[in-house]
Structure 1
Amino acid sequence: MFSPLRIILAVAILLNVAAAFPLIGRDVQWSFTLFQSASCNGTIGDPHAGSGSTGCRADLHSVASAYALNTVAEGCRIEFFDNTMCDQSELSDVAGQITPNETCRIAGSRRRFGSYQVSCE
């Protein structure tokens, strides 16, 4: 059986290969990894990736304290919510294009990420 660390490493390698060869990963418009720790580290991360807009996604393995963006295509934005229903009144964070120094984004002292939705033009 594969350990969670090996799965995460395999995903990271595939994302790097897709970036090096754009025709391979052309369908992935956004990807990020959720973490239980506020420092975006640890052996268990919860990777999410897709193409185009989504509805509300609450299929998280656990409620997260932080996230790291891997890819966000121009025209896409990811909204993270403090609840599991994408309730706009509990919007925690909005992510768009990645900046060069972007590494780990924290939910805040009393908030956690319980759901997300992606919208792409």
Structure 2
Amino acid sequence: MPSLVLYAFATVAFLFTTTTTAFPLFAQDIQWSFDLYESKACNGTGELHAGSGSTGCRADLNTLAAGYTLDTVADGCRIEFFDNTMCDRNEIFDVAGPMTKTQMCLVPHIHRRYASYQVTCEKVEV
């Protein structure tokens, strides 16, 4: 029961910070977000990762993840998941983009875990 309350609180906090029309003082330009899970069933408490724009290699995960659920990926962005902590392009295990189904538990196709990720977003000329 406590994990359900914690998950509900995290969800409310995420929605609160990403709702720009109702809360303009907390405007966030979230272009991508996903939750990492220790289990291949994506149950338990997820580790939220969210941001806007490209990132470098992110290997500061609290745990090696066995699965993830995608919340959102903006047009022009893609998330690459790796099984190593160096974002080695020879070891890409999964790529998520705007056409990837959201809220579905996704796992690597072989018996490995996600250890790092990198987000690439194209710059939009205004």
Give the TM-score normalised by structure 1: 0.83
Distance in 2 of aligned mates of 1:40 and 1:13: 19
Distance in 1 of aligned mates of 2:100 and 2:84: 27
Q: Where does the alignment leave 5 or more consecutive residues of structure 2 unmatched?
A: none
Distance in 1 of aligned mates of 2:14 and 2:103: 17
**Superposition pairs of residues 10-89 of structure 1, within 5 angstroms:** 10-17=9-16, 18-19=18-19, 21=21, 25-42=27-44, 44-89=45-90
Displacement of 1:45 in angstroms is: 1.3
Larger Rg: 2
Displacement of 1:111 in angstroms is: 1.7
Deviates more, 1:97-106 or 1:77-86: 97-106
Deviates more, 1:63-72 or 1:93-102: 93-102
Distance in 1 of aligned mates of 2:37 and 2:121: 24
Q: Deviations over 1:59-94 (max 9, x none)?
A: 100000100001111111000001011001110000
**Superposition pairs of residues 72-111 of structure 1, within 5 angstroms:** 72-99=73-100, 103-111=104-112
Contact 1:71 1:98 in 2 (8 A): no
Contact 1:69 1:98 in 2 (8 A): no
Equivalent position amino acid for 1:13 in 2: V
Displacement of 1:21 in angstroms is: 3.6
The CA RMSD measured in Å over matched residues stands at 2.3
SS of match in other structure, 2:30: coil
**Residues paired across the two proteins, number:** 118
Displacement of 1:5 in angstroms is: 4.9
Distance in 1 of aligned mates of 2:100 and 2:86: 28
Q: Where does the alignment leave 5 or more consecutive residues of structure 1 unmatched?
A: none
Deviates more, 1:17-26 or 1:106-115: 17-26
Distance in 2 of aligned mates of 1:103 and 1:19: 22
Equivalent position amino acid for 2:34 in 1: F
CA change 1:116–1:101 in 2 (3 A) is closer
